[in-house]
Copies of this chain bind each other. A is one copy, B any other.
């Protein structure tokens, strides 16, 4: 216990409801347990925090990271089995090697594959496959897959894909369809490599929506997902979880009152400028205002404008004095959490701050 409550914290501040976090972690674990032999490799890019990893990937279990700063943070605290799931460059290999053999990299580039194989430290690598997102990775039938596998040689640890385009999906049927395309694509690519005589140990896929909606995962060894731990307003509108399952919020103070609006001290820096819900059924601006205990407020008050340090809440006819406190549920948990250096951990509707948990920000 810190001896502090949500009334004492300087604002803005990032609040993490550990009861909701535990529930979200249990739900994903149950979803993956439907698929015997498939492991969950939680993506720590959203939380970037060892105390959260202790719940989501207990016992130093396998994790995914998005930066070398995360990789260092978690490696130093006992998480040895990591996939650094952003395409590596030859220049980053020395930093990876310093983290120990458990930290695996990904690539879709032949020259980089040669650099990995030539690196003295024996770095393990996965080949990135694109199943429709159109970001990184090679198509499952791209001939370059075999060339990269050949260049990697004994460094080849497996294959990886991410159906990030599931974020543009709507409804359970479409999510199931994208999940199956993700599975079929990576399984096809792994099959091609095996057919050419390569050992493919890890077959890794995932995004929070497809992880929850996948009906079958044959041919897959593990699933990656991250934002499910915290949830956010965008994922709630995708149907990944309910609005009551959002674990992170920004504590804010009223700093001004105008007709029909409140000015608060959570602006673009504290909330991020992410506008994920812009194209969603309900456009929730820069975030949804909640009561200090995290309960919904009537009339859907929303942060409609965000200046660097000012947010403007409209709707809900809130009549609150300067200094009153609210919480803001975020559009996109990954971006909002990254604006803060630590979490104030609370439990359910309680105001006591149980602990402060540090984040591994930056690179």
Contacts and interface: CB of A to CB of B under 8 A. Distances in A.
Contact of A307 (B164, B263, B322, B340): B164
A60 B68 CA distance: 38
A253 interface: yes
Interface in A337-357: 338-341
B309 A86 contact: yes
A89 interface: yes
A290 to B, nearest CB: 19
Interface string A48-75: 0000000000000000001110000000
B322 A111 contact: yes
Contacts of A305: 135
Interface residues of A, number: 58
Contacts of A112: 322-323
A363 B14 CA distance: 11
Contact of A89 (B95, B108, B255, B268): B255
A338 B90 CA distance: 28
A3 interface: no
Nearest to A342: B362
Contacts of A256: 87, 108-109, 136
Contact of A340 (B312, B323, B362): B362
Contacts of A339: 338
A312 B89 contact: no
A89 B135 CA distance: 45
A51 to B, nearest CB: 19
Given A272-B273, A363-B12, A91 B309 contact: no
A86 B135 contact: no
Contact of A273 (B86, B134, B274, B361): B274
**Interface of chain A, helix or strand or loop or mixed?**
loop
Given A256-B87, A275-B273, A309-B86, A322 B109 contact: yes
Interface in A255-269: 255-258, 263, 265, 268-269
Contact of A308 (B253, B334, B340): B334
Interface string A305-317: 1011110100000
Given A308-B66, A309-B66, A335-B268, A89 B12 contact: no
Nearest to A108: B256
A339 B67 CA distance: 14
A86 B310 contact: yes
A13 interface: yes
A335 B322 contact: no
A323 B263 contact: no
A284 to B, nearest CB: 15
Nearest to A254: B89
Interface string A237-281: 000000000000000011111100001010011101111000000
